[in-house]
């Protein structure tokens, strides 16, 4: 082994490398990364093939796509920002607002990337535990805001618990957050929401001078491998985010594929609808098995298996289902191919039978 001579930032060395969903065996279903199971539509494949030569840099401003998204949100093009995946925009926003000595408040469990992005920015993370029913504890998040707080993350639907923040809850929350604190509303799964009471960033444009909404083409639109997401918010905040970004990371192919996806939005959202229907069927089957799991609003379900998580993940793996096991909190299973559902439910039934009486993942009766 090479001796460690170079002085690296200790907080970076201490961070475990990002654990990607395990590659699936050839005959296993990979339900560990909340990916879209449908193949890209032919128009997207054609758009990728037709994008200009890779010897040229992409359009740095991404003006055409930003203009299209601006129309959808009823904002100016300057109020839309593109990134190589919305994760990269989250990194930019955190770096733009928070540095050494500053705090970033986020719910936990939530998106696995949040703690790392905060650490890389040099800031201090302030995780706020979810409520017992796996939702954001918004009053506790408000109480965690101090003079040092620069950013508060809100994730709705929340990855991995699938819970949402309602429109009314979000309005009450924003009314209390100080105006100098940036609120980032991460809506990576908003397209899968079927409940009208859930907050939707598209209805909030122009309402708050300290709110940025982030979305992605990775999940509902099935472009995860191309890396393209976007943010909508006040121009001065997006300008600051852009300043921290690595220029030219959003490729021409990604921009073209996103534009074509908007042209064929109806087809893609019909697929999203099918996944949401399947999700609700899986949820009600889980309830019938005796699980107590939060109502899922994204393209995944959350099994709060607690200290039985590693053993439960083994059961799924043996059944040909690759899941995301998250510490000793639980298991997240994506809603993928319709053919995966029987296997998923068989494994879930086996796991629920192994949980001790009065385990919090079991329904009370
Ligand atoms: C998947 C995901 C993202 C974004 O992913 P990108 O592929 O980088 O756009 C952002 N937030 C959450 C909560 C996610 O699960």
Say if ligand 1 is within 6 A of residue 95 CB. no
pLDDT at 53: 79
Is 255's C-beta closer than 6 angstroms to any atom of ligand 1?
Answer: no
Closest atom of ligand 1 to 88 CA is 8
Same domain, 217 and 118: yes
pLDDT in tens, 63-112: 999 999 999 999 999 999 999 999 999 999 999 999 999 999 999 999 99
Domain span including residue 215: 42-263
Pair 240, 276 in one domain: no
Give residue 190 CA to ligand 1 midpoint distance, Å: 11
Inter-residue contact 103 to 150 (CB < 8 Å): yes
Answer yes or no: do 141 and 240 share one domain.
yes
| Residue 265: CB atoms within 10 Å | 14
Both 226 and 285 in a single domain?
A: no
Chunked into runs of 10 residues, the chain (365 residues) has average pLDDT values of 86 74 77 97 95 87 97 98 98 98 98 97 98 97 98 98 98 98 98 98 96 98 98 98 96 97 98 98 98 97 98 96 97 97 97 95 84
**What's the total number of domains in the chain?**
2
Tell me whether residue 101 is exposed, middle or buried, using C-beta atoms within 10 angstroms of its C-beta: 0 to 12, 13 to 18, 19 or more: exposed
For residues 81 and 93, is the Cβ–Cβ distance under 8 A? no
With respect to residue 361, please indicate whether it lies within any of the assigned structural domains: no
The two structure tokens encoding residue 317: 């793996």
CATH number of the CATH domain containing 197: 3.40.640.10
Report whether residue 187 contacts ligand 1, using a CB cutoff of 6 Å: no
pLDDT, tens digit, for every residue of 354-364?
999 999 999 87
Domain shared by 107 and 121, yes or no? yes
**Ligand 1 lined by 157 (C-beta under 6 Å):** no
- Same domain as 307, residue 248: no
Domain match, 53 and 164 both: yes
**Domain-terminating residue out of 245, 263, 281:** 263
Regarding the beta carbon of 85 and ligand 1, being less than 6 Å apart is answered: yes
Place of tokens 């999940």: 219
Cα R_g (the chain), whole angstroms: 21
222 and 281 both lie in a single domain: no
Is 186 in contact with 153 (CB distance < 8 Å)?
Answer: yes
The pLDDT score that the predictor gives to residue 15 is: 83
Give residue 360's pLDDT.
94
Residue 216 Cβ inside 6 Å of ligand 1? The answer reads: yes
Q: 124 with 257, same domain?
A: yes
Cα–Cα distance list, 333 to 21, 78, 93, 347 (Å): 11, 37, 29, 11
- Is the C-beta atom of 93 inside 6 A of ligand 1? no
Is the beta carbon of 155 within 6 A of some atom in ligand 1?
A: yes
Let me know if residue 214 belongs to a domain. Answer: yes
Are residue 148 and residue 241 in the same domain, yes or no? yes
Strands annotated E in the chain: 29-30, 80-83, 103-108, 124-129, 149-155, 182-186, 211-216, 229-232, 300-303, 321-322, 324-326, 330-334
- Closest atom of ligand 1 relative to the 155 alpha carbon: 13
**Residue with the nearest Cα to atom 1 of ligand 1?**
188
């Amino acid at each position: 082994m090479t001796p460690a001579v170079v002085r690296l930032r200790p907080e970076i060395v201490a961070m475990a490398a990002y654990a990607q969903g395990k590659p699936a065996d050839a005959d296993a279903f990979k339900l560990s990364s909340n990916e879209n199971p449908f193949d890209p539509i032919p128009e997207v494949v054609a758009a990728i093939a037709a994008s200009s030569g890779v010897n040229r840099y992409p359009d740095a401003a991404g003006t055409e796509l930003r203009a299209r998204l601006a129309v959808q949100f009823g904002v100016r093009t300057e109020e839309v920002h593109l990134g190589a995946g919305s994760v990269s925009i989250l990194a930019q926003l955190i770096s733009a607002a928070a540095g050494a000595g500053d705090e970033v408040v986020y719910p936990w469990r939530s998106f696995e990337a949040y703690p790392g992005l905060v650490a890389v920015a040099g800031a201090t993370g302030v995780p706020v535990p979810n409520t017992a029913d796996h939702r954001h504890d918004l009053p506790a998040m408000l109480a965690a805001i101090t003079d040092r707080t620069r950013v508060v993350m809100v994730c709705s639907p929340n990855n991995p618990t699938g819970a949402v923040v309602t429109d009314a809850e979000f309005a009450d929350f924003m009314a209390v957050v100080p105006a100098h604190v940036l609120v980032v509303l991460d809506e990576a799964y908003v397209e899968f929401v079927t409940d009208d009471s859930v907050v939707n960033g598209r209805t909030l444009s122009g309402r708050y001078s300290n709110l940025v909404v982030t979305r992605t083409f990775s999940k509902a639109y099935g472009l995860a491998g191309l890396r393209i997401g976007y943010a909508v918010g006040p121009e001065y905040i997006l300008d600051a985010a852009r300043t921290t970004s690595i220029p030219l990371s959003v490729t021409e192919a990604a921009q073209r594929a996103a534009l074509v996806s908007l042209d064929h939005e109806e087809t893609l959202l019909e697929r999203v609808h099918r996944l949401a229907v399947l999700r609700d069927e899986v949820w009600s089957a889980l309830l019938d098995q005796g699980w107590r799991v939060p109502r899922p609003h994204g393209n995944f379900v959350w099994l709060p298996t607690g200290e039985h998580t590693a053993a439960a993940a083994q059961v799924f793996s043996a059944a040909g289902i690759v899941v995301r096991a998250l510490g000793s909190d639980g298991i997240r299973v994506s809603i993928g191919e319709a053919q995966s559902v029987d296997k998923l439910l068989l494994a879930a039934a086996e796991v629920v039978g192994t949980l001790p009486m009065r385990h919090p993942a079991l329904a009370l009766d």
